[in-house]
Structure 1
Amino acid sequence: MTLRRQVQFWLISLVVLCLFLYVFSSVLLPFVAGMAVAYLLDPVCDRLEKLGMGRMWATLTILFAFVLILVMFFILLLPLLGNQLALFLEKFPELIRKLQALLSDNFPADLASVAGINAEDLQSSMSNFIGQGASFVGKLAQSLWSGGQALLSILSLFVITPVVAFYLLLDWDRMVARIDSWLPRDHLAEIRGLAKEMDQAVAGFVRGQVSVCLILGSFYAVSLALIGLNFGLLIGMVAGLVSFIPFVGAGLGLVLSIGVALVQFWPEWPWIIAVAAIFGVGQFLEGNILQPKLVGESTGLHPVTLMFALFAFGYLFGFVGMLIAVPAAAMIGVLARFALKQYLASPVYQGTDHPVSGQEEQVSE
């Protein structure tokens, strides 16, 4: 097969895959979730197999423990979070009105006059800005709540997802071997190398980032609840779980927490400073301990690239797109680095009359 035919074949395959995801995105969620669970738990299953347990019993043991933890979460924690979310959405307009009044009454007019701005105009602009931001956050929260209800539906969570995860986990090694047998024989070594690099990138990020999100969510939630912040448990968990998007989780949690703290604690500044300090400590832990130790540079993706992938895949394929955004971006990154390496070694880059010197090759790498 010529190079042109190969490129056409893989481009057509990519288009078919994208169309498949687009058409069936509304029903793929439990299957994608089951695949993610199987992928995350496969190393544990392999470890149990090495200890002498059969694949069937290892799969049943792991999934039973996973579902048990999930059920305990739903029984113990989810009702509390759901009540806090419902109350937060109910009280949100009142919180915004109190925050606007607080800023209007306490904003230093002298500072506005020094800056050459009319204090009333500035306060009005601030109120409008807060109102627009509140409207956006309210719509986003309601959207996430309705999406979360769909995500946590009994059918997809307790029936389809565990069944899909069970069969995939049971047959994981056989499926990998079967796919390996379909690979083009002429490029077997290269494809295996790329697949191994992709697996390391995806596994390192997903397993590490899940740990980071859970640790940060627990830290924020417990810390905010201990200082008595209203909705602290909910805000902390949301901030931790959204922290897989660089700076977004902590930023969202800080803004919401400071807004609630101003309404609740004003004028007691120590409590407001304590709320800000919690997120400062969380960012220090994430940037200096959790991310380097648990995630590292596994994906090789710049934070801006990661955020673009999340927004792009989310826009194209909805919530399912956001689930597959990071793995897909990591795989695309591996392929892009491979393509760049091939380009730098090709006559297109080097030319026929001016071969690349050793120093230039080293700089390129």
Structure 2
Amino acid sequence: MALPVGQQAKYWGIAVGVFLVVMWFLGDVILPFVLGGAIAYCLDPIADRLEKAGLSRVSSVAVITLVAALLFILLFLLVIPTLVQQTAALIDTAPELFNRLQAGLTERFPSLVDEQSTIRQQLIKIGETIQSKGGELINGLLSSAFGLLNVLILLIVVPVVAFYMLLDWDNMTAKIDSMLPRDHVDTIRQLARDIDKTLASFIRGQGTVCLILGTYYAAGLMLAGLKFGLIVGFIAGLITFIPYVGALVGGVLAVGLALFQFWGAVEITDGDVVTNTTNWVRIGIVAGIFGFGQFLEGNILTPKLVGGSVGLHPVWLLFALSVFGSLFGFVGMLVAVPLAAMLGVLARYGLDRYKDSLLYRGRSGSE
């Protein structure tokens, strides 16, 4: 006989409360394990396919680990130093960019932007603020991400955790399944399948889309000659999981930087005559890169890798990221998406049960 609904709600409420308390007090400590578990979850389908191809679980995990190590070494040697360098250069260049914007506005709208104008003063303050606060922002992100753990510990612990969790993933899921309450095992399994489907579509599929688009944007912008192409591509790819936001933010940032870099930047000397021209071709190429990226995402990548319906609305994602990030810091942002997916599945399940109940249909609907 199943427990009464009131007692079940009490026990589940206690479990949720314990989970939140653990996250609150141990957020920085459990960070490597959250990252390792996320990596193992994303790589488990690859290990399963290698097993179907004839490899053992140990061999499959060893192959994945070797490939991941090689990719990490390449990123660490080739990409990360350039990314850090461009980020610092972009922050240092911000006041100059705003000064050029101010000069352009002054030239075209002299009546609106004079020396005592509010617009001009605000532009100066924005440039100075970005330069002074940019380093603090990066340091704040790093400190919130790492907390008491340093980079070296993360680089050691996360791969080890991911390796062992990937190695024992099937055993862990079977063990958890054996501990489910027998009265609700079928319902919980169905909810778990729905959650896994949502997470697989979003995290694995959308994560692949972000990686492909970020690489495309970074390589395309760097080949187009944009000074900060790598960091712009990284930003655009990182937030591509929010529909339209990644392309909008990255596109505006890239085109804005292209205008500052190529607007009047080419000097042609003809005797004593020096003129500045605008390289519209380069600016058009930068805009075209993001236009083609949107076409690629909407018509090829997202339909193939993510699917038609993920069940995570962009507003719900932003809300979850904001709430969990403010409450639990960087760890909260990491678990925000899977928790949002779980809550979304549970909410849809509850809504279906509500529509089947007398509370919704009434006595007339049950006749």
Q: TM-score range by the shorter chain?
A: 0.7 to 0.9
Cα deviation, 1:274-299, whole Å, max 9, x if unaligned, reads 32232222222222322222112453
Identity of aligned residues (%): 49
For structure 1, the 5+ residue unaligned runs are 110-117, 358-365
Mapping of 1:45-56 within 5 angstroms?
45-56=47-58
Between stretches 268-277 and 336-345, larger displacement belongs to 268-277
Mapping of 1:1-150 within 5 angstroms?
1-107=3-109, 119-120=112-113, 124-128=117-121, 130-131=123-124, 134=127, 139=133, 142-144=136-138, 147-148=141-142
Instruction: Extract structure 1 runs of 4+ deviating beyond 6 A.
Output: none
Between stretches 292-301 and 233-242, larger displacement belongs to 292-301
Mapping of 1:131-170 within 5 angstroms?
131=124, 134=127, 139=133, 142-144=136-138, 147-148=141-142, 154-170=151-167
Cα deviation, 1:17-73, whole Å, max 9, x if unaligned, reads 111112111222221110011001111112222233222222122112112211111
TM-score (norm 2): 0.86
- Which residue, out of 322, 329, 335, partners 1:318? 329
Contact 2:95 2:124 in 1 (8 A): no
Contact 2:232 2:254 in 1 (8 A): yes
- In structure 2, how many angstroms separate the alpha carbons of the residues matched to 1:344 and 1:206? 30
Q: What corresponds to 2:183 in structure 1? A: 186
TM-score (norm 1): 0.87
Instruction: Compute the RMSD of aligned alpha carbons.
Output: 2.5
Cα distance change, pair 92–8 in 1 and its aligned pair in 2 (3 A):
same
Cα deviation, 1:3-29, whole Å, max 9, x if unaligned, reads 101011111111111111121112222
Cα deviation, 1:277-335, whole Å, max 9, x if unaligned, reads 32222222222322222112453122211221122221122122222211111111110
Mapping of 1:117-266 within 5 angstroms?
119-120=112-113, 124-128=117-121, 130-131=123-124, 134=127, 139=133, 142-144=136-138, 147-148=141-142, 154-266=151-263
* Structure with more of its chain in helix, by fraction: 1
Paired positions, count: 347
Contact 1:202 1:298 in 2 (8 A): no
Offset of 1:142 from its aligned partner? 4.8
- In structure 1, how many angstroms separate the alpha carbons of the residues matched to 2:180 and 2:25? 27
Structure 2 residue 347 is matched with structure 1 residue 336: yes
Cα deviation, 1:196-227, whole Å, max 9, x if unaligned, reads 11001101111111111111111211221122
- In structure 1, how many angstroms separate the alpha carbons of the residues matched to 2:139 and 2:241? 19
Equivalent AA in structure 1 for residue 31 of structure 2: L
